[in-house]
Every structure is written in C-alpha cells, then in structure tokens.
Amino acid sequence: MLDFNTNHKALVLTAFIVFVVLSFGVAIFPANEMQKYQPLPEQEDLTEQEFKGLKIYNAEGCVACHTQQVRNIEMDQVWGKRPSVPEDYHFSKKRLDVWRQSASVLGSERTGPDLTDIGRRQPSESWHLLHLYNPRAVVKESIMPNFPWLFKEVDSNRVKASDVVVAVPDEFLDDKSKKVVATDEAIQLVAYLQSLQQAQMPENSEPEFIPFSKKNKKSNDQTTEASSGLDGEKLFTSTCATCHQSTGQGVPGAFPPLAGSEVVNNKDAKKMIRIILEGYDEMEGYAAMPGFAEQLSDAEIAAIMTYERSHWGNDAPEVTEDDVRKVREELENTKAQ
C-alpha cells in the first residue's frame, strides 16, 4: 500500500482508476443528463435544407469565430431576448453523420457576432448572400473571409430563371459582364442562418439576465418606464446599418440609400412606416427588404425613423410612437378582413 515509488502496477492502475472515476462524475454523467432535455413547445426541427446548411456551417469552420450562446449576463442581451437554455440545442446538436459528431456551435470565441438569433435580427436572404460573397460589400470594416467558392460567375445572358442572382456592387466584381449566382451550398447555408431564431419560452419560465452591477439594474428599470428616451442612432446601427450603412448611402446595386430618399423625406411618414413594418420589394435593381413588425416595437421604429429623417442631409418631421401604432393597427385590420 502506498508504495507507488516502487510498484509500477499500483501507480499506473491507481492513476487510471481515479481518473476514470473523476471523468465519469465530471463529464460522462452530466453529459448524459444534458442529452435528456426535450425541445421547447414552439421549436421546430431543421428542414433537410437547413440541416445541409448546418453541415456547411461546420465544414467551413464558422464556429471558430461565431458563438451561438446567449449567456445569462447583461452584455449578451444584444444577441437574444433571453439567455440560451439547454432545450434550444435539441435539434441543432445532433450527430451530423457517421464520421462527424454534433457541431460545437456554442463556440469559444466571438471574433464575429453571436448567431443565436441571426435569423430574426437579419432576415434578408439577399443580404446574407451578398455578405457571404464578400462581407466588405455590406460591412466595410468586416474582417470575415469571403466565400467565393459558394458562388458561380455566369455570363449575364446565360442566367437561368431558377438561378438566384446575388446583387453584387460593381466594385466587388472581377468581371463586370458576369452575374454572380448562388450555388446550392450557399442557399442551404443561408437557409440554416435564417432558421436561427430563439424559440418562445413558456410563460414566466424565461431565465433572467444577471445585471452587471446594482446601478445598472436600477437605471435599466427607469429606461423601460420612460421609453421615449430610446437612442435612435444605436437602434439604427444595430438593426438597419448592415444594409443601409451607417452613412445612409446604402450599397449601390444591393440596398438603396436613405440619404436624400423621397420616401424618407416625405412629410407624411405613412409609407415609410409601412415599408419598415411589412418589408418592400418594388425597387428596380435592389434586393428585397424584410418586414420588421415582429422584431421592433412602435417606440423603437419611431426612434429609428426620427433619426433617419434628420441625418445625412435629410429633413423631415419627427415620428411619434402613436403614428407607428396607427399604421400598425390599420395594417392588422386590413389583414383581418
């Protein structure tokens, strides 16, 4: 007993057994428990298309820079409306195939934004495709790699009706006579990204965010009471600037400018409110805009619009929460009929 310094069998066997026992307690047992979580009621399984997209997400090593976990701390509030829970991963973390285990989508490094809720935050397929083709076409300062091998360059006269053409600004094209067409892989990857949306938790069971400090908690409570104090610029940057750019100039050939736009400068804000709520796809030469009715509150839309209408040389009157609410109700009524 305890003669490890002369008994090699005892030494190796003890090291082996203790390690296995500890490993069981700290890894295998809790891992097995974590598998038992069932999905949330509203959660949907990945479609075949989305699952293929997940495989591409894994193969391209997206997890190296993008996390998919909203931690239960205040600073992560920008990435989702609630902290992530084990149930969220029921469908997405399945074994990929015989050769591959489930993808480590939680990640360990946030070189790029968290993607837990990217499907809600950035619902536009056109944006995702252009962003994958060349991220700097939409976010000038981005350091994300471009993925040209997910796209084909096709002569403009050979584009088929079924092809998804990506609206790429000229300066990002090598050969301006050609059109950029998304491959199946690109479409699948975008389908997966669009599927990333936090599911609703059952009433009153949402975990809460831990505030950074007492002070912050108090001031947060105050801001929710006085909702008019919303920062339009901040909201614009986090919601709209990825397409329309922080300069308001948009991306030529992809996303229209807001600066000097007739719609934005119109004294009657009704059309602009409708576009934001419902989305819009009637402008020649530009990509479709998704609606933001579910994502943004009336007050938030009003704050964003007021910011947009008073910057980059734009000059139009303020928009109030009431204005937005009226339009929203009107739209809901017409839908109901």
Partner 1 sequence: MKGYKFRLLFIFFGLSSFILEAQNTKATENWETSPGIIGTIVLVFIVIFIAVIIFLAKINAFIDKMKRKNIEKKRIEFSDELTDLDDDEIDSILENRKKALKYKLKGDELGGKNKVVDKKGLVKRVRKDPSNSFFDQKKKTPLSIETPKELKEIVTYYLAAATFWLLFGTFIGEYLGLKFVWPELDSISWLSFGRLRPVHTNTVFWGWSSLAMIGLGYFVIARTSNNLIHSYKKAKIAWVLINLTVILGNIALMAGINNGGGEYREYIWPIMLLFAIGLIITFYNFYKTVATRKISEIYISNWFILAALIWTIVLSIIGYLPFYQDGLGETVIQGYYMHQGVGMWFMTFTLGLVYYYLPATLNKPIYSYSLGVLAFWTQMLFYTMIGTHHFVFSPLPWWLQTIAIVFSVGMFIPVIAGSTNFLMTMRGSWNHISKSYVLPFFLVGVIFYFVGSSQGSFQAFRFTNYVWHFTDFNVAHSHMTMYGIIAFLLWACIYTILPKLNGKEPPQLLVGAHFWLAFIGLFAYMISMMVGGTLKGMSWMDGEPFIESVIMMQPYWVWRAVGGSLMFLSHVVFAYNLYYMIKKEPQKKSKKVEKIKGESVNV
CA distance 297 to 305: 12
When asked if residue 234 is in the footprint of partner 1 (CB under 8 A), the reply is yes
- Containing 304, the helix (H) or strand (E) segment is helix 298-309
3-class DSSP state of 112? coil
320 by Cβ neighbours in 10 Å (0-12 / 13-18 / 19+) ranks as middle
When asked if residue 78 is in the footprint of partner 1 (CB under 8 A), the reply is yes
Residue 104 CB, shortest distance to partner 1, in Å, is: 4
When asked if residue 81 is in the footprint of partner 1 (CB under 8 A), the reply is no
When asked if residue 106 is in the footprint of partner 1 (CB under 8 A), the reply is yes
Please check whether residue 256 is in contact with residue 250, taking contact to mean a CB–CB distance below 8 angstroms.
Answer: yes
The conformation of residue 73, written as its DSSP 8-state character, comes to: B
CA distance 53 to 185: 7
Binding residue (CB under 8 A) for partner 1 from 127, 147, 192, 255 = 147
CA distance 163 to 157: 12
Footprint of partner 1 on 83-102 (CB under 8 A): 83-86, 88-90, 93-96, 99-102
When asked if residue 35 is in the footprint of partner 1 (CB under 8 A), the reply is yes
Nearer to partner 1, 62 or 324 (CB): 62
When asked if residue 108 is in the footprint of partner 1 (CB under 8 A), the reply is yes
CA distance 336 to 309: 31
Nearer to partner 1, 61 or 317 (CB): 61
Residue 106 CB, shortest distance to partner 1, in Å, is: 5
CA distance 286 to 54: 28
Residue 7 CB, shortest distance to partner 1, in Å, is: 8
Binding residue (CB under 8 A) for partner 1 from 18, 45, 219, 268 = 18
Footprint of partner 1 on 161-220 (CB under 8 A): 210-214, 217
CA neighbours closer than 13 Å in the CB half-sphere of residue 218: 3
Nearer to partner 1, 69 or 269 (CB): 69
Residue 199 CB, shortest distance to partner 1, in Å, is: 13
- Containing 32, the helix (H) or strand (E) segment is helix 29-34
Residue 103 CB, shortest distance to partner 1, in Å, is: 5
When asked if residue 322 is in the footprint of partner 1 (CB under 8 A), the reply is no
